[in-house]
Amino acid sequence: CAPRLSQDTAALLSSEYVKIRLEMKERCSEQGDEAQAVPITVRQLEALVRISESLAKMELKAEVEPRHIDEAIRLFKVSTGSAAAYSPSSLMTFANEDTQRAVERAEAYLRNRLPMHSKVNTSRIVEEAVSQRYAAPTIKKALGIMVM
């Protein structure tokens, strides 16, 4: 079973893809920050085709139906929305200046302790840092920031 797009479903998918691109373009110009947008490229269109075909295949259909396209679009919007909303800087919010200084101090300790691009046992590093009077949550936060 290898479901394929009919001309009608291909046209539907194409129009939905164009609509998403226009929405993203409008959102970028409204916000004035094009770097924030998740890029919508031909690769995403190809992914939508594969998702639609997979949804049809799960039902053992010979052709992709409009509802498969609709579900693929819904999944795509949810996943790209989540990706756009994710911000690594959320790891860098601090309760107060003391916490920020403690994390910066922990980062300095880790930079001195660990060679660049090294693979280490995180638990062991945290234990070692705790024995050097660093708080475990502070070390974990510093590690999280450093590996971004």
Nearest alpha-carbon partner for 72 in 25, 12, 118, 129 = 12
* Tally of CB atoms within 10 A around 102: 19
Residues 10-28: tens digit of each pLDDT: 999 999 999 888 887 777 6
Across 111-126, average pLDDT: 85
* Tally of CB atoms within 10 A around 147: 9
| DSSP class per residue in 73-106 | HHHHHHHHHHHHH--GGGGG--SSHHHHHHHHHH
Element (H, E) at 113: helix 97-113
Q: For residue 84, what pLDDT is reported?
A: 57
- Output 93 or 20, whichever has higher pLDDT: 20
Residue showing tokens 């840092």: 129
Burial class (CB in 10 A: 0-12, 13-18, 19+), 32: exposed
Spatial separation of the C-alpha atoms in residues 137 and 148, rounded to whole Å? 17
- Output 64 or 120, whichever has higher pLDDT: 64
Provide the residue type at 27 as one letter.
Answer: R
Q: For residue 40, what pLDDT is reported?
A: 75
